[in-house]
Structure 1
Amino acid sequence: MNAKYKNIALVGCLSAACISNAYAQNWSLSPNREVGFSIQSLGMTVVKGDFGSVNAKMQFDPKALQNASTQFTMQVDSLKLSKPSLKNMIMGEDLFYAAKYKTVNFKSTQFKSLGNNRYQILGNLTLRGVTKPVVFDTTLTPNASNPNVLKVTSKTVINRSDFGMKKAVAGVGEKVNIHLNGQWNTQ
């Protein structure tokens, strides 16, 4: 192979390594994000909540999913509600019990590719001191102009009673829709 083709091959390999390394870095969740939940009853949204204080990190390379991981910690007292009149009930002993349980945590155990930037992120959710397995349906879309940015949408549904919360309190539904919308940035 002559020197010209060796240089082209070297540049190509270095470019591929740089792109792969962008994915292999640690990722942090942008402050401009929404991590929260909504609860419906009789087909109508009863309340929405958004955690103001979220500590999140992710290790992600789509070519090495066996090494991918993510972890979230949300501060319960940072919860902002669409209906502030429900705050005492939601933060009280029947639901979040914020005086005793200060955080909600999620730690992944596995990433599964579904193709087209879609993944199932399996892991353990800890709420009110109860840990249960959950699966988040997630889309991680690379930014075409910036390899250091991934757009993220993620969601799952849990039953409140699985985590020790009371059922059917004041007409609030049993199913809780948990969601994340925002972007990951490399650190």
Structure 2
Amino acid sequence: MKKLLLASAVALTVSGGAQASEHSGTYAFDTKGSHQFITFKISHLGYSWLYGRFNDFDGEFVYDAENPANSSVEVAVDTSSVDSNHAERDKHLRSEDFLYVSEFPEATFKSKKVVVDDDGEADIVGDLTLRGVTKEITLDVEMLGHGDDPWGGYRMGFEAETEFKLTDFGIPMDLGKASETVEMIISVEGIRQ
């Protein structure tokens, strides 16, 4: 099973074949067009999945086509933007029991290394800071595509997955054994700067 994230983060590296160096550069997340998503799911008592997302986040990635291992990514997430499609639950998720957004309004991810496999997929290893705790996580990343857009820009998109235990980041709420791990999927489209 693919490792599933947050966060954040996000993604970058190559997929399928050599990339020309003209595709290298710094790419800002497309926040204006909202072509980006950080979603999560966690088991509810082992009976169903609870899904949610973070509505506000930003970041950028640097893509080195000639040496993808030199690529990098940084993401910042507004934790108060958590949205599980239920106002009372979202209020609880923002509380001290979970994200504690009044004390820790931002989560961040900063890559440390990119490891590309023979199939052109990559693992991005980096530090996730959530609820004031920083831990190393790995994003399982796939490039979705790249090319010119209709507005004269150049775009590149990635999807990343990871998973982690709530207790790894000091989240005190015990939801039971079935709900110890949260899975995250990050999908971003960057515009070359």
Q: Which range, TM-score by smaller chain?
A: 0.7 to 0.9
Which blocks of at least 5 consecutive residues in structure 1 are unaligned?
Answer: 1-17
Matched pairs, number? 168
Q: Does 1:21 align with 2:22?
A: yes
Select between 74-83 and 156-165 the one with higher mean Cα deviation: 74-83
Indicate the residue corresponding to 2:187 in structure 1. 181
Indicate the residue corresponding to 2:125 in structure 1. 122
Shift of 1:67: 2.1
What amino acid is the match of 1:142?
G
What amino acid is the match of 2:187?
N
What amino acid is the match of 1:28?
A
Structure with greater helix percent? 1
Indicate the residue corresponding to 1:153 in structure 2. 159
TM-score, normalised with respect to structure 2: 0.78
Indicate the residue corresponding to 2:96 in structure 1. 93
Higher relative contact order (CA 8 A, sep 6+): 2
Taking a change above 3 Å as real, the CA distance of residues 83 and 150 of structure 1, as seen in their structure-2 partners, is same
Q: Does 1:141 align with 2:144?
A: yes
What amino acid is the match of 1:29?
F
TM-score, normalised with respect to structure 1: 0.80
Question: How much is the aligned-residue C-alpha RMSD, in angstroms?
Answer: 2.4
What is the distance in 1 between the residues matched to 2:27 and 2:77?
17
What is the distance in 2 between the residues matched to 1:120 and 1:101?
27
Identity of aligned residues (%): 20
Aligned-partner SS, 1:99: coil
Deviation per residue, 1:7-26 (Å, 9 max, x gap): xxxxxxxxxxx94132x210
Task: Give yes or no for contact 1:70–1:107 (8 Å, CA) kept in 2.
Answer: yes
Aligned-partner SS, 1:126: strand
Task: Give yes or no for contact 2:133–2:170 (8 Å, CA) kept in 1.
Answer: yes
Match of 1:164 among 150, 163, 170: 170
